């Protein structure tokens, strides 16, 4: 047994196929708490609801946590001294514990058919009573139970809610919490298929895995009195509870798919940086008590306090996430951005094109302040990765005057004179050309920009020319002269 003071926390998702941002927040708070207190962060898979089983969900979950930087210490694949960490592999353990409760008469077998339960529910509804098992099977005598068992009548095991007025417990975030016992149903602990329900498996595992703190979402708060009773029935010490606030849409409704993405995988696919998503999610219910909003992981570990988590629902504000992404990207070194751009390119339509590090580095310097996402490098300035295939019609209309082809021909002549031009050399050459043509620099700049990039905005023209190089720039201008019909 671990020493009682050691901190052990767990993230215990059901493998539903994706990681909800609320789940990421729960995992993060558990992780921060464990790291801060030099404790252990356990990943446990709660897959006892076989109707919700999704192929590949566990692998996906582990991969997504890894992407987010939340490495667990014990869990599936990695193992640990409390293995197995997948509940469907622990059925024997739950069975044994149910037997203990049956023996102590803290639980009982219920042979009621689904039809009878449905009928009962309808009756209760009719008279406006809350839906609760009527305890018919609690009254069965031993011989009736035996008879049913020998006939093989299917049964579930229910816990017996004791006749006490209230059930109380402490929650770090909410203080003293109290539930009236009459609100509680005789909860099913073991289903007729031999699988435990969430409640039983969760409590048994938290105890056997020496979990010191149960940190989870508010939606589980109403289950906690049943869990508290189970701890008491088994004669076990309670863990410390902390129920995290709900996540809300900006209109204060419960965070839902209808108002935006809820899967971490969606944010990942959209190109959000894990650091930014983590920074953002950390603030969904917690704040450091100062003005600081930009946090690196290490700073979160240092400053995170469970006591500073709020009770009130936390609003999910996508603008704030976008701002954090922009900030985290902005603060990255050029080398880091280069790596990210390389992996983005490897998944893009340019995956077969080779670009030198030097080249990409120059693109990064020119575009850094204009992007919020790595993918923006490609989407906002595709002309750095391929010659324009078409030209923005609006810009052609406005900027491509009748004599643009002649002007640009002259510009090309000037450019061809340059030896290893730097940015400034393009500028001087363009000024010289404009002067000899007696037109404004601007007129020539607009036409040249359209010719080399296909669009009307972006970084400075001389930056673009310098990045593309003389040969490519000249070639693009010549192509544009051929292709753009003046209007």
Of 231, 234, 227, nearest to 102 by C-alpha is 234
Query: What span, in angstroms and rounded, lies between the C-alpha atoms of 58 and 77?
Result: 10
What part of residues 144-173 is at the interface with ligand GLU (CB under 6 A)?
none
Q: Is residue 220 a contact point for ligand GLU (CB under 6 A)?
A: yes
The strand pair at 156-159 and 107-110 is best described as: antiparallel
The answer to whether 8 touches 211, Cβ cutoff 8 Å, is yes
Q: What is the DSSP string of 23-36?
A: HHHHHHHHHHHHHH
The answer to whether 262 touches 21, Cβ cutoff 8 Å, is yes
Residue 255 per-residue DSSP state: P
Q: Is residue 218 a contact point for ligand GLU (CB under 6 A)?
A: no
Q: Is residue 186 a contact point for ligand GLU (CB under 6 A)?
A: no
Q: How far is the CB of 275 from ligand GLU (least distance, A)?
A: 25
Three-class DSSP category at 273: coil
Query: What span, in angstroms and rounded, lies between the C-alpha atoms of 335 and 205?
Result: 45
Residues in the chain: 487
Q: How far is the CB of 98 from ligand GLU (least distance, A)?
A: 19
Choice from 7, 8, 9, 13 touching ligand GLU (CB under 6 A): 13
Size of the residue set binding ligand GLU (CB under 6 A) = 8
Q: How far is the CB of 13 from ligand GLU (least distance, A)?
A: 5
Q: Is residue 196 a contact point for ligand GLU (CB under 6 A)?
A: no
Nearer to ligand GLU, 46 or 427 (CB): 46
Q: How far is the CB of 211 from ligand GLU (least distance, A)?
A: 10
What part of residues 233-252 is at the interface with ligand GLU (CB under 6 A)?
none
HSE value, Cβ hemisphere, 13 Å, CA-based, for 16: 11
How many Cβ atoms are within 10 Å of 130's Cβ, its own excluded? 9
Name the residues annotated as catalytic. 257
Nearer to ligand GLU, 218 or 414 (CB): 218
H/E element, 238: none
Nearer to ligand GLU, 111 or 220 (CB): 220
The answer to whether 378 touches 348, Cβ cutoff 8 Å, is yes
Q: Is residue 14 a contact point for ligand GLU (CB under 6 A)?
A: yes
Structure tokens at 128: 């406006």
Residue 240 per-residue DSSP state: E
What part of residues 16-55 is at the interface with ligand GLU (CB under 6 A)?
46
Stretch that binds ligand GLU, among 7-15, 373-381, 397-405, 442-450 (CB under 6 A): 7-15
Stretch that binds ligand GLU, among 10-18, 134-142, 177-185, 357-365 (CB under 6 A): 10-18
Nearer to ligand GLU, 220 or 462 (CB): 220
Of 27, 35, 23, nearest to 10 by C-alpha is 27
Binding string, residues 198-217; x marks residues near ligand GLU by CB under 6 A? x---x-------------x-
Q: Is residue 76 a contact point for ligand GLU (CB under 6 A)?
A: no
Interacting residues with ligand GLU (CB under 6 A): 12-14, 46, 198, 202, 216, 220
């Amino acid at each position: 047994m671990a020493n009682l003071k050691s901190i052990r926390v767990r993230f215990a998702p059901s493998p539903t196929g994706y990681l909800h941002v609320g789940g990421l927040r729960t995992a993060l708070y558990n992780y921060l708490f464990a790291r801060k207190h030099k404790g252990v962060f356990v990943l446990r898979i709660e897959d006892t609801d076989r109707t919700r089983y999704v192929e590949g969900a566990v692998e996906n979950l582990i991969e997504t946590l890894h992407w987010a930087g939340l490495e667990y210490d014990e869990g599936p694949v990695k193992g640990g001294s409390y293995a197995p960490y997948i509940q469907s592999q622990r059925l024997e353990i739950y069975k044994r514990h149910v037997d203990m409760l049956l023996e102590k008469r803290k639980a009982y077998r219920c042979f009621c058919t689904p039809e009878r339960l449905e009928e009962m529910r309808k009756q209760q509804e009719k008279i406006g009573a809350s839906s609760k098992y009527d305890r018919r099977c609690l009254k069965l005598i031993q011989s009736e139970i035996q008879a049913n068992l020998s006939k093989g009548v299917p049964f579930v095991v229910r816990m017996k809610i004791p006749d006490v007025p209230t059930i109380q417990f402490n929650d770090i975030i909410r203080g003293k919490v109290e539930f009236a016992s009459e609100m509680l149903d005789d909860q099913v602990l073991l289903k007729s298929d031999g699988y435990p329900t969430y409640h039983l498996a969760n409590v048994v595992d938290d105890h056997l895995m020496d979990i010191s703190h149960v940190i989870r979402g508010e939606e589980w708060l109403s289950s906690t009195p049943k869990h508290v009773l189970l701890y008491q029935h088994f004669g076990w010490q309670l863990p410390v509870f902390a129920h995290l606030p709900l996540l809300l849409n900006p209109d204060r409704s419960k965070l839902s798919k209808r108002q935006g993405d809820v899967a971490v995988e969606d944010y990942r696919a959209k190109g959000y940086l894990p650091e930014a998503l983590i920074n953002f999610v950390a603030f969904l219910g917690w704040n450091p008590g100062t003005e600081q909003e930009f946090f690196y992981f290490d700073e979160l570990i240092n400053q995170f306090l469970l006591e500073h988590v709020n009770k009130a629902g936390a609003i999910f504000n996508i603008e704030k996430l976008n701002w954090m992404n922009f900030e985290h990207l902005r603060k990255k070194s050029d080398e880091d951005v280069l790596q990210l751009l390389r992996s983005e390119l490897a998944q893009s339509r340019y995956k077969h094109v080779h670009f030198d590090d030097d080249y990409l580095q120059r693109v990064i310097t020119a575009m850094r302040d204009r992007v919020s996402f790595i993918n923006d490098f490609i989407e906002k300035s595709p002309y750095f990765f391929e010659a324009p295939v078409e030209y923005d019609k609006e810009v052609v209309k406005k900027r491509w005057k009748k004599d643009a082809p002649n002007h640009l021909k002259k510009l090309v002549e000037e450019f061809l004179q340059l030896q290893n031009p730097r940015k400034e050399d393009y500028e001087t050459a363009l000024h010289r050309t404009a002067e000899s043509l007696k037109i404004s620099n601007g007129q020539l700049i607009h036409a040249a920009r359209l010719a080399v990039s296909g669009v009307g905005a972006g970084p400075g023209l001389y930056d673009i020319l310098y990045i593309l190089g003389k040969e490519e720039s000249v070639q693009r201008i010549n192509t544009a002269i051929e292709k753009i019909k003046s209007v």
